[in-house]
Amino acid sequence: MPIIRNFIRRTSAAGLREYFTSQQIAIGGVDWSQDHATVAKNIIQLVDHLDPEDKARLRVDAERIYEMADEIGQAALLSVVSDVASYSELDSAVERSRWVYLHEPDNFRHAEDIRYADQYRHGRDWNSYEIGTKPELHTDPASIASFKEKIRALFGLGEKVKIELFERTLPDDDGNDIDVVQVMVYQEGLPDAYLEFKGEDELVSRIRRPVSEHAITYAKEIGVVEVVARKQERRNAIAKAFTEDLLKQKVEAEKVPLRCYDLMPLMDNRPLTIDPQDGIESVRIVMIKLKDHNDDGRMTFEVPARKEIGLHEYVRGHLGESNPLTSGAFSPTQARISIRFHPENGSNRHKILPVKITMPNGCDLRSRTEHERLIGEKYLKRWGLLGEVA
């Protein structure tokens, strides 16, 4: 198994000894005083002879530890670890991940939750909702119980629901850290049958109930709720339940809008349709900023102001098959759209309404005139860039 071999090769001899001792996986015949390469080679040879249960445990542990060794995982671990001094002394990402896994298992799981939320932020399984106010988060038992009951009834899944809350920071798109509360929702799924061996050749059917997990972050200082879940309707339902039960904002009764911006439709080069009666001559995407899904890098594309060319045509002409807009490896974080109106009252001048949207909740229409806001929001909704959950 490559993941086990990679874990063993990238963990020090002392770290491996601590791991196998702590997890009570018997791996006899290893001289721990030898150099790391020799120790690792001997352990890899012995792994094939492990008890099946121990081998399965080693594989699961190695996968979890190794997954948290990337840049997103390391940032998440650093944000939750208690013994920062011991953590910082370790000289590799795998070693740091292994150390937290063994010494601070609860913090390791919180880091996994943070990584889950951050990895999918701005992606297809994520939405941001602007509350419109900055209410306090209510975490008393009655509020949590009400929220759990609503989650339990929403999706027709199992009866068991677990809610976990913890504080953390989250970077905005300007690189500034903001304080947030992250809420993890775990719900038991519907029963699923699978086969396993009993003895040497007898097959038996087992029942399991997989757990679905959803991540919510709430930033009070900007009044924004973000939800990571696999389906759009689930994200909307979770955001509404969270707002009603934990923020005490009665969405239906008081018409508190849950505004949701989404720039993903701009990646598909779909037509930005308009109504002739609004006096609009043309609409163009003139700028888009992207980040890759691993959050390793960002890029910006901006159409030259004097050229009447579409953004997709411009990027395709320069990058061809390497077009990041269609590669599926990038998500948009900011875009600017130029709405150009026909001249009025015999004038030769065209009025331009630029609209800039910054994920998760920024839009400069707020600073425009009432007429401009109405026009802008009408078309942002039509183009699938702005929605409201009621």
**How confident is the model over 4-22, as pLDDT tens digits?**
999 999 999 999 999 999 9
Q: How far apart are CA 328 and CA 372, in angstroms?
A: 33
Q: Is the backbone of residue 228 left (phi > 0), alpha (psi -120 to 50) or beta?
A: beta
Do 139 and 101 lie in a common domain? no
| Whole-number Cα distances in Å, 30 to 8, 34, 39, 49 | 13, 9, 7, 14
The pair of three-digit structure tokens given for residue 221, joined into one six-digit string: 């200082």
Do 371 and 341 lie in a common domain? yes
Q: Which of 100-104, 126-130, 137-141, 263-267 has the lowest mean pLDDT?
A: 126-130
pLDDT value of residue 82: 93
Last residue of a domain, one of 119, 145, 175: 119
Among candidates 275, 280, 300, 305, which has minimal Cα distance to 290? 300
pLDDT value of residue 252: 46
Could you give phi then psi for residue 251, rounded to 5 degrees? Answer: -60, -45
Q: How far apart are CA 337 and CA 380, in angstroms?
A: 10
Do 165 and 179 lie in a common domain? yes
pLDDT value of residue 172: 65
pLDDT category of residue 257 using cuts at 50, 70 and 90? low
Domain range enclosing 306? 264-389
Could you give phi then psi for residue 133, rounded to 5 degrees? Answer: -130, -175
Please report how the helices 105-119 and 93-103 are oriented relative to each other, as an axis angle in degrees rounded to 10: 130
Do 319 and 359 lie in a common domain? yes
Do 270 and 242 lie in a common domain? no
pLDDT tens for residues 58-74?
A: 999 999 999 999 888 99
Split into its structural domains, the chain has a count of: 3
Do 244 and 313 lie in a common domain? no
> What letter would DSSP give residue 51?
-
Do 24 and 109 lie in a common domain? yes
Side chain identity, residue 196: E
pLDDT category of residue 368 using cuts at 50, 70 and 90? confident
